[in-house]
Structure 1
C-alpha cells in the first residue's frame, strides 16, 4: 500500500508540474493565447475589488454565481505576499491536493479502491492548464468531501453539500442518493440549515447577494452546449444566426435561439423528474449508490444545460473518481465515456476553440463528438443507476431498505469516510 501511495504522490507532483508549465506558456496561440488565464487576472481580480468593498458585482452581466462564490474569489487575500493570480493558482493546487488525499484515504477502506484517486490524478491534466485558472476545483472538492462524509457523518456531508451549492449550485445534487431514513434526514436538514445561515451571514456582510439570479435568467445558448451544437450545424444549412460575447460567454443570437434555450430548460425539468422518480422507486442501496446517483444527476444537469463550459468536466471527473473509490459502483463504463469527453474538451478548448467559434466543419464535428459522448454517458449512467437500484429477485437482505430512524446505513453497508 505504501508503494501505491508513493506512486500516486509522484504522479500528482509530475502532472501538476506539467500543468504549471502549460500555464506558464499559455500565451502561445496553440494554448489559446492566454485566454484561459485571463479569466483570473482580469475578471476574477476585478470582482475581487468589488467584493472587497462589501458588495457583489450586481451590475455586471457576467456575474452569474451564487453568493458563496464571493469568499472563494476573495480567498487569495489569505496569501498577501503573492499576486492575486499566483495566490489563486496556489489555492487551487491545495484544493486539488485535498481532493486527491480524500480519495486516497477513502480508497484504503474495506470494499474500496485507489482507482478513484488515480483517476483524479491522471484525469484532471487532460484539461491542460484550464483547471488551475477556474475555481471549479474548489467547488468539486466540497462535493467530493460531502459524498465521502455523508454515510458516516451525514451532518458533515450536508454542510459540505450546502457550501458547495452556495458556490455553484450543482453540489446540491450530491445528496440525491442518500439512503432513506436517518441519513437523509440528517444530511438534508443540516444542508438546509447551513445554506440558510450562510446566506444570512453573507447578506449581512455584502450588498446584493442574490443579484446572480437576474443575470442567470437572461442567459442564452452557449456555443459549446448541446443546443449550441445543433445551431452550429444549422448554420451550414443556411440558418442566419451569429455568435457574440454575452453574459461572459460566446452565445448564439438569431431566429429560434430562444426556442432552443426553452427546450433545454424543459429537458432539464424532465431530467430532474426522472431523478425524482428514481428516488421514489429505488429500493436497493449499495455503498456506491450515493456516488452513482450524484454522477448521474450532474451528467443529466450538464447535457441539458444551456452552457457546457470546459470546467464542467472538472465536476464530472471528481464525481467519477468518487464512484471508482467503491468496488460496488455500477458506473465504470460511464467513467470511460467521461474521460473520453474530457480529452476531447481539451481539444475544443483551448486548442481549437477558434474552429468552434467560427462553426467550421471541424469545430462542429468536435462538438458533436464531445457532446455525443456526454449524452451517451448521461443515458448509460441513469439506466445503470436505475437497474442497480431495483430489488433483486428473492433478495430481502441487507441493502434493500435502510433501517428506520438514526443515522445508520442499511445493515452490511460499510462506511465510506
Structure 2
C-alpha cells in the first residue's frame, strides 16, 4: 500500500506556534539577544565595501557585505536594522522549513523542533546563513551536484568551516567531480573578489582572529576550569569580556586546555581527510576495498548515507574542538541532523540516527538554558551552581554526540569501499 504524504498544514501550524513562543521569549530577553545585531550595525557604519580593514575582522568579507546591505536597507536607525535583520533570518528559517518539507516532512519536523529548542537566538545571529547554505548543499547532492558544491563554497565564504565539508563530497565519480567543480569555481570567484578588494591581510583576518583568541567559557575545553571556578574558595579563575567580544576564562591550567583544543582541531582535520579517503576514493589501497563501478545503486546508497554521517561528524567536531562555543553554533547542526533523521532511517540507520537526534535535541535545549536564560549567573563574580551544572551537562552531551557521530561516520565510510564481487553496469550513478 503506498504511503500517504502528510498534509502540510500541521507543519505550518507547528512553525507558527513554535515561533510565536520564541517571539514571546525574545520580548522578555530582547536586550540580551539584540546585542550582537547592534554590534553588527555600529561596526559597518561609515565603512566602504571596498575598504573593510578593521571592520568585523572576525567575519569573512562576504558576510560583512551582507550586513552592509541590510544596513543600507535599514537606514540610520539601529532599531530598524534589528527588525530587518531578524525578519531576514525569520524568512530564511521559513524558507528552510519549506525546502525541507518538499524533501521530507520528517526533516521539516526535526528542523522546527531543533531550532525551537535553540530559541529566538536563531533570528539574531548570522550563523543561520551558513546553516541554510549547508542544508541547500545536502538537498542537492545528487540532483544538482554542481549547485551543491557551489552552496558549500558560499557557506565557506560566510563562516569558513563549511569548506571542510567538500572533502567527503568530492571524489572521482561524475557527480562528485561536479560538486568539487562547483565548489572550486564559486570559491575562486569569491576569493578573487575578496582579495582584490580587501587585500590578503583582511581576507585572512578571520583565521588570525580565531588563532589568537582565548578560552571562551562555554567551550568544551573550559568545562573543568568553569567547575574549578565554581568550587574554588579563592579567586584563581576569573571571567571577563576580552578584546574578542567574548567572555573568556583565565587561571591555572587554561593555557594547557588551549593546547588541547589545538590538538583536537588537528585530529578533526585528520578525521576529515580519512573520511574523504574512505568516501570519495572508496578507501583505495586498503585491504578489501576497491573502486566502485560507474553505476552501482547499492554503493551509491551506502555512499550517500556515509556522506550524511561524515558531514554531521565534521560539524560536531568543529564545535567540540573549538576553543570558543558560542550558543549560535548549534544552528550549524540543524540541516545535517534533519537530513539524517529523514534519510538515515531509509538507509538502515534507524537506531543510530534516533540516538544522535535525541542527543542533539538535548544539547540544543541545554544550550538555551545557558544562554540566554541563565547567562547572567554564569558570568557574574559569584557563578551560579545550576547554570554551571547545565553547562557541564551540555558539554558532556556534545562530547558524546561527537563520539557517536564519528563512530558511525567511520563505520558507514568504511563500508563504502568494501566489495566482494563486481556488479553489472546497469543504471545511472546517483552520488
Do these two structures clear the TM 0.5 threshold for a shared fold by scoring above it? yes
* C-alpha displacement of 1:175: 2.6
Mark the CA change 1:148 to 1:173 in structure 2 (over 3 Å): closer, same or farther.
farther
Is 2:228 the counterpart of 1:211? no
Mark the CA change 1:349 to 1:303 in structure 2 (over 3 Å): closer, same or farther.
same
Mark the CA change 1:371 to 1:156 in structure 2 (over 3 Å): closer, same or farther.
same
User: Which residue of 1 is the match for residue 248 of structure 2?
Assistant: 251
User: Secondary structure of the residue that 1:211 maps to in structure 2?
Assistant: helix
Is 2:402 the counterpart of 1:378? yes
Coordinate RMSD, CA, aligned: 2.6
Is 2:62 the counterpart of 1:71? no
Query: Structure 1: how far apart are the matches of 2:319 and 2:49?
Result: 34
User: Which residue of 1 is the match for residue 367 of structure 2?
Assistant: 345
Mark the CA change 1:176 to 1:324 in structure 2 (over 3 Å): closer, same or farther.
farther
Using the size of structure 2 for normalisation, the TM-score is 0.83
User: Which residue of 2 is the match for residue 266 of structure 1?
Assistant: 263
* C-alpha displacement of 1:297: 0.7
Is 2:294 the counterpart of 1:291? no
* C-alpha displacement of 1:176: 3.5
User: Which residue of 1 is the match for residue 272 of structure 2?
Assistant: 275
Does the 8 Å contact 2:309/2:412 carry over to 1?
no
* C-alpha displacement of 1:334: 0.8
Q: In the TM superposition, what are the counterparts of 1:165-180 in structure 2 within 5 Å?
A: 165-178=156-169, 180=171
Query: Structure 1: how far apart are the matches of 2:305 and 2:100?
Result: 14
1:346-370 CA-partner distances (Å, limit 9, x unpaired): 1001111123224443233111100
User: Secondary structure of the residue that 1:307 maps to in structure 2?
Assistant: coil
Is 2:189 the counterpart of 1:197? yes
From 125, 138, 162, the counterpart of 1:147 = 138
1:211-248 CA-partner distances (Å, limit 9, x unpaired): 33332221111000011111112333467121111101
Does the 8 Å contact 2:164/2:272 carry over to 1?
no
User: Which residue of 1 is the match for residue 413 of structure 2?
Assistant: 389
Does the 8 Å contact 1:223/1:232 carry over to 2?
yes
User: Secondary structure of the residue that 1:63 maps to in structure 2?
Assistant: coil
User: Which residue of 1 is the match for residue 388 of structure 2?
Assistant: 364
* C-alpha displacement of 1:167: 0.5
Query: Structure 1: how far apart are the matches of 2:153 and 2:313?
Result: 19
Query: Structure 1: how far apart are the matches of 2:5 and 2:430?
Result: 30
Q: In the TM superposition, what are the counterparts of 1:11-410 in structure 2 within 5 Å?
A: 11-27=14-30, 34-40=31-37, 42-52=38-48, 54-56=50-52, 58-59=53-54, 63-77=57-71, 79-80=73-74, 83-107=80-104, 114-178=105-169, 180-181=171-172, 182-206=174-198, 208-235=202-229, 236-237=231-232, 240-246=236-242, 247-282=244-279, 283=282, 285-326=302-343, 327-328=346-347, 329=349, 330-358=352-380, 359-391=383-415, 396=421, 408-409=429-430
User: Secondary structure of the residue that 2:169 maps to in structure 1?
Assistant: coil
The number of residues matched between the two structures is 389
User: Secondary structure of the residue that 1:4 maps to in structure 2?
Assistant: coil
Does the 8 Å contact 1:51/1:70 carry over to 2?
no
Mark the CA change 1:46 to 1:180 in structure 2 (over 3 Å): closer, same or farther.
same
User: Which residue of 1 is the match for residue 11 of structure 2?
Assistant: 8
Single out whichever of 322-331 and 245-254 deviates more from structure 2: 322-331
Query: Structure 1: how far apart are the matches of 2:36 and 2:26?
Result: 13
* C-alpha displacement of 1:50: 4.7
* C-alpha displacement of 1:85: 1.0
User: Secondary structure of the residue that 1:383 maps to in structure 2?
Assistant: helix
Q: Structure 1 or 2: larger helix share?
A: 2
Unaligned runs of 5+ in 1: 28-33, 108-113, 411-417
User: Secondary structure of the residue that 1:252 maps to in structure 2?
Assistant: strand
* C-alpha displacement of 1:48: 2.7
Using the size of structure 1 for normalisation, the TM-score is 0.85
Does the 8 Å contact 1:147/1:174 carry over to 2?
no
